[in-house]
Amino acid sequence: MQRLSGKLLNGVVALAIALAVVFTAHAATSHSKAKSHAIATSGTFREVGFISPDLALAKSLDPAMESDVYSSSVAGLVYDGLFKLNANTKVSNDLAASVKISKNKKVYTITLRSAHFSNGDPVTAADVVYSVKRALKHSANSPVAYYDDLIVGYANYNAGKSNSLGVKALNSKTVQFKITTPAPYFEDELAYNTNWVLDKKVVGSHGASATNDYLTNNCSANIGSGPFMFQCASKGSGVGSFYKGTHEYTLVPNPHYFGPKPHIKIVVQVAGTDETAYNEYLAGQTDAVGVPSDHVLQYLHKHNKQFHDVTSSAISYTSLNTTTAPFDNKSCRLAYAYGIDRVDMAKVINYENKPWYEIVPKAFLGYFKPTGVPKDNMAKAKADFAACGAEAKTPFELVYAAGGTTADKIAQTEAASEKAVGFDVTAKALQLNDWVTDITEPLAKTGTIAVEQGWIMDYPDPQDYMDLWLSNNPYDISGFSNKTYDKLVNQADKSFNTKLRQADYAKAARIALNNGTPIMSGIQTAPVLVKTSVHGLVYTFSCASGCPPPGGGVPQDWANVTVK
């Protein structure tokens, strides 16, 4: 989430990354007669983009409402932003042709390239302003609005107290952003799906909403400027406007795309489990798949040209409800943190998840060698458990996203290690979209006590990870709040001094981890199988499961992705 917009991940590990990044290929030539404006396709990428026992597709296709990697990975093929993360782990210009930054680093003046939406409408600065304001409106209650909290006037505008916001169109091709404080990552934040550009003429007065999701339920309303567009089954409303019969999305090349045109079709399907998706690959129904943990060992070190295995930027962790028993008690949280057997969790899924104890990946500022933070230590866990008192015996469920044996093994192994500490815990699987709801609301509101989740980078800056646990951050569902943590992270966020940022982030991370929030467990790899008939994908830290490299003046060059 395309770049694979960094989002919340579930415990399916490889599938959680791979199904959202690799757009699998089915070597079938289209024989339908193309319209005069359509681009002829020479093959079809057929992927299982969603793993959910209830066979649900995207929770939302509205960029203003997408907080999970699965939904945004589909929408990211249709919509463009001003900037985009590429396979080289760099944020590069997308709709932005050039950027001028003021001396005080608080005014960004961005000139748009000549680009058009898939219906032929030109992309204008007014469309950019409309899209940003729509996403940040109070009525939207967007879970990703806070990515734009640097924009002048954000707080009052988002609260519905003002109509003033620091973004405006200077002319049809120039948009200006004013921010409250200098930030080395502001362009990175503009790459996030909060700021993907919609066609104002098409979406109009249809605001972003979790309860009446216009774009998710109206295929023809999804008009973007990205490399692909939806092939709609009808012009009606409802999810059936996207497909006939089989639950799937079909995407075809956007004939008005400003970059090199793709020559493939993409079909995004849903499977009930990771094992089902894997078997479909083996049966030749798809041409790429994330490898379930039960099957990884047969491919490791075997020089199989179809197999790729790259460490990703995706961290796995457990969030605990710090507002109620037993985890309103710091000793209980630390007992949980020391009690997790991270090595055993890695073993049971054949090291698709590697043991991890820090917040940010090694490639980022703020990474430190894991000294002085909770690690697997049963003796320490039991000592902290004893210090918890009577509330340590409070029964609770460890919630995770259903999707196959890999997710089950991770959750059951974690629950077993905590039972050994003394906790009365039971692992409970939720349908994918129910799990997404659970992790985008405060645990104090949902009543959830513990939930497995994860995070994959939005952009290559530690702020993307460290801000997750700032007080009042919407993604801090645990209720963690620490003034010193907030001070250090806010200092680092504003600094352009690399050494100071590194030191402040590392100090802050130790504070959070030693408060038992979050409970880090692993960093994910992405073992995938891709048929050798698929060409044009690369496998990197930011694109662990494969995506097109930059080329032709665009962050991802889909024109060179072929099936032969």
pLDDT, tens digit (0-9, with 9 covering 90-100), for 168-186: 999 999 999 999 999 999 9
Tokens of 384: 């902290």
Candidate ranges 283-297, 324-338, 367-381; pick with highest mean pLDDT: 324-338
Same structural domain for residues 171 and 317? no
Say yes or no to pLDDT of 28 above 50. no
Residue 392 lies in a domain: yes
How many residues make up the chain in this entry?
564
Note the pTM of the prediction, 2 decimals.
Answer: 0.81
Say yes or no to pLDDT of 20 above 50. no
Provide the pLDDT for residue 37: 62
Other Cβ atoms closer than 10 A to 222: 27
- pLDDT confidence bin for 293, thresholds 50/70/90: confident
Q: How far is residue 397 from each of residues 211, 215, 316, 523, measured CA to CA in Å?
A: 27, 34, 18, 23
- pLDDT confidence bin for 70, thresholds 50/70/90: confident
Residue 293 DSSP one-character state? G
Q: Which of 68-82, 289-303, 316-330 has the lowest mean pLDDT?
A: 289-303
Say yes or no to pLDDT of 18 above 60. no
Residue 55 lies in a domain: no
Q: How far is residue 92 from each of residues 174, 277, 313, 555, measured CA to CA in Å?
A: 18, 33, 18, 6
Distance of alpha carbon 104 from alpha carbon 118, whole angstroms:
38
Other Cβ atoms closer than 10 A to 120: 10
Same structural domain for residues 187 and 323? no
Mean pLDDT of 428-453: 89
| Cα dihedral sign, 514-517-522-527 | negative
Residue 403 lies in a domain: yes
Share of the chain above pLDDT 70, in %: 93
| Cα dihedral sign, 320-326-331-337 | negative
Average pLDDT of the chain to the nearest whole number:
88
Exposed, middle or buried: residue 447 (CB in 10 Å: 0-12, 13-18, 19+)? exposed
* End-to-end C-alpha distance for the chain, whole angstroms: 26
Using N-to-C axis directions, what is the helix angle for 405-421 and 274-282, rounded to 10°? 150
Candidate ranges 258-272, 317-331, 340-354, 459-473; pick with highest mean pLDDT: 317-331
Which of 202, 217, 234 finishes a domain? Answer: 202
Alpha carbon 271 to chain centroid, angstroms: 19
| Cα dihedral sign, 26-28-31-35 | positive
Residue 559 lies in a domain: no
Q: If you search the block for the tokens 């707080």, which residue do you land on?
A: 155
Other Cβ atoms closer than 10 A to 200: 17
Same structural domain for residues 329 and 466? yes
Say yes or no to pLDDT of 32 above 70. no
Which of 174, 202, 230 finishes a domain? Answer: 202
- β-pair type (519-530, 288-290): antiparallel
Say yes or no to pLDDT of 24 above 60. no
Other Cβ atoms closer than 10 A to 63: 29
Exposed, middle or buried: residue 284 (CB in 10 Å: 0-12, 13-18, 19+)? exposed
Other Cβ atoms closer than 10 A to 445: 12
Say yes or no to pLDDT of 36 above 70. no
Backbone φ and ψ of 432, nearest 5°: -50, -55
CATH code for position 330: 3.10.105.10
Using DSSP's 3-state secondary structure scheme, residue 80 falls into coil
Candidate ranges 55-59, 279-283, 551-555; pick with highest mean pLDDT: 279-283
Distance of alpha carbon 408 from alpha carbon 563, whole angstroms:
34
Exposed, middle or buried: residue 549 (CB in 10 Å: 0-12, 13-18, 19+)? middle
Say yes or no to pLDDT of 419 above 90. yes
Provide the pLDDT for residue 17: 45
Which of 202, 230, 251 finishes a domain? Answer: 202
**Nearest C-alpha neighbor of 406 from the set 294, 270, 505:** 294
Residue 541 lies in a domain: no
Residue 102 lies in a domain: yes
- β-pair type (174-178, 248-253): unpaired
Residue 144 lies in a domain: yes
Backbone φ and ψ of 143, nearest 5°: -75, -10
Residue 454 lies in a domain: yes
Backbone φ and ψ of 316, nearest 5°: -115, 140
Contacts of 1 (CB under 8 A, 6+ apart): 7, 20, 21, 69, 72, 73, 74, 75, 76, 193
Exposed, middle or buried: residue 446 (CB in 10 Å: 0-12, 13-18, 19+)? middle
Same structural domain for residues 188 and 323? no
Distance of alpha carbon 517 from alpha carbon 323, whole angstroms:
12
Mean pLDDT of 120-148: 96
Q: Which amino acid is at 284?
A: G
Query: Number of structural domains, the chain?
Result: 2
Same structural domain for residues 348 and 467? yes
Using DSSP's 3-state secondary structure scheme, residue 291 falls into coil
| Cα dihedral sign, 523-73-8-345 | negative
Same structural domain for residues 335 and 462? yes
Tens digits of per-residue pLDDT, 228-264? 999 999 988 888 899 988 889 999 999 999 999 999 9
Residue 446 DSSP one-character state? H
Tokens of 183: 């930030």
CATH code for position 130: 3.90.76.10
Mean pLDDT of 120-129: 98
Mean pLDDT of 479-486: 96
Domain that holds residue 193: 83-202
- pLDDT confidence bin for 14, thresholds 50/70/90: very low
